[in-house]
Amino acid sequence: MPFSPRRRLRRIARGLRAMLPSAAEPDGDAAAGGERRAWEPPFDASAPAPPMSYPITDLAALASRAYLSAAANFHLSFNRASVPGPASALPARRRVLVCHDMEGGYRDDAAPQGGANPDAYALWHWHLVDVFVYFSHYLITLPPPCWTNAAHLHGVKVLGAFITEWDKGAEVCKEMFATEASAQMYAERLTELATVLGFDGWLINIEVKLDIQFIDNLKEFVNHLTKTMHAAVPGSLVIWYDAITVKGDLDWQNKLNEYNKPFFDLCDGLFANYTWKKKDLQDSATVAGDRKYDVYMGIDVFGRNTFGGGQWTTNVALDLLKKVDVSTAIFAPGWVYETKQPPDFENAQNRWWGLVEKSWGVLRRYPKQLPFYTDFDQVGASIGLRTGNLKQW
């Protein structure tokens, strides 16, 4: 997965620690400055408190189903989406997947009943998006309901993220994929989370090296997760991230090929790593055959070794993807917000997404049904609810 500034710091810190005797791998955000998040110990999820959205950070919590216990998790009822997702399959055309990775996740959006920051990060160009992934570097990233509800209102599917990385991630995988039964059990736990919380599936990112003995059970995990998601949530998706290969190597391919296609064949799509070259696009389309729209070629908006340079030239990559007629996965469009692009967030956001729209075109149509209601207000400021005028069309 592309390196955010926070993750780059973690990489540097990990390297420095490796030079020291008895080096221990940092957990979570510790290497990024020691920030303690609200759900870290001694957090007690059962205690009444201001409602909060938070990730699942260890495998035991997933296995125990504690998050889904009303007795063990006071916050559960606040984290259920209230707007149902689109039950239809994705259209047979090139698509846009947006992968949210903004300041490590769970910032202002971690308050499911609303926060106090009128300038919080937001997305309002939903007409350009087909799939939205809420991503972080925690083991299991559960989309806050504000994102799920907003996306669903616009007919956009929402995915959570499951990621294993570093030595700790490798140990997690060895436990998960020790047997076929354990692989299936953990897949069912993820399906249950998506079903209860009301989102539409998962991005799976196994970013570790594994012994070949675990690969068959890893494949069964992907297969079982896809099947159980489809059975539980009509229109759901499981997307595989291009990291580990079918040989167990951590080796980003930057395209669909024989080393990651066995996983692609078991799920709904591939998110190809972002350092692809021009030739990789047609290669991927050829390998995918009649599933070429299920190949989402990554673009890192921060511009780290990504084709076209990302940032204000993200459209360079989009132009080429459009020409080859494959889909795209836009990673970290929160770059506009994080880097404080001038003159202000609203204007910079509109300008950046305007480049996307000019390049890619508007492939979705609204309204989805009539009548619909709007007050033409993004409700980004405290005065918004008092000044909006309700209109029916």
What's the CATH number where 250 sits?
A: 3.20.20.80
User: In the prediction, which pLDDT does 380 show?
Assistant: 57
pLDDT tens sequence across 249-265: 999 999 999 999 999 99
Phi, psi of 135, deg, nearest 5:
-120, 145
- Give me the residues of the chain with pLDDT under 70, please: 1-34, 377-393
Longest dimension (CA), the chain: 68
Is 346 among the domain residues? yes
The pLDDT of residue 284: 98
| Inside any domain, residue 179 | yes
pLDDT digits (tens, 9 = 90+) for 301-312: 999 999 999 999
pLDDT given at position 392: 43
Cα gap 117→107, rounded to integer Å: 10
Are 212 and 247 a contacting pair, CB within 8 Å? yes
This prediction has a pTM of: 0.90
Would 28 be classed as within a structural domain?
A: no
Residue 30 lies in a domain: no
**In the prediction, which pLDDT does 264 show?**
98
13 located within any domain: no
Return the pLDDT at 385.
36
Q: Which domain range does residue 167 map to?
A: 81-365
With respect to residue 390, please indicate whether it lies within any of the assigned structural domains: no
Identify the CA nearest to 96 among candidates 276, 271, 338.
Answer: 271
Structural domain count of the chain: 1
Q: List Cβ neighbours of 77 (8 Å cut-off, separation of 6 or more).
A: 70
Task: Determine contact, residues 109/120, Cβ cutoff 8 Å.
Answer: yes
- Strand locations in 280-371, DSSP E? 295-300, 327-331
Q: Is 234 inside a domain boundary?
A: yes
CA Rg value for the chain: 20
| Residue type (1 letter), 77 | S
Look at residue 379 in the predicted model and tell me its pLDDT.
58
With respect to residue 71, please indicate whether it lies within any of the assigned structural domains.
no
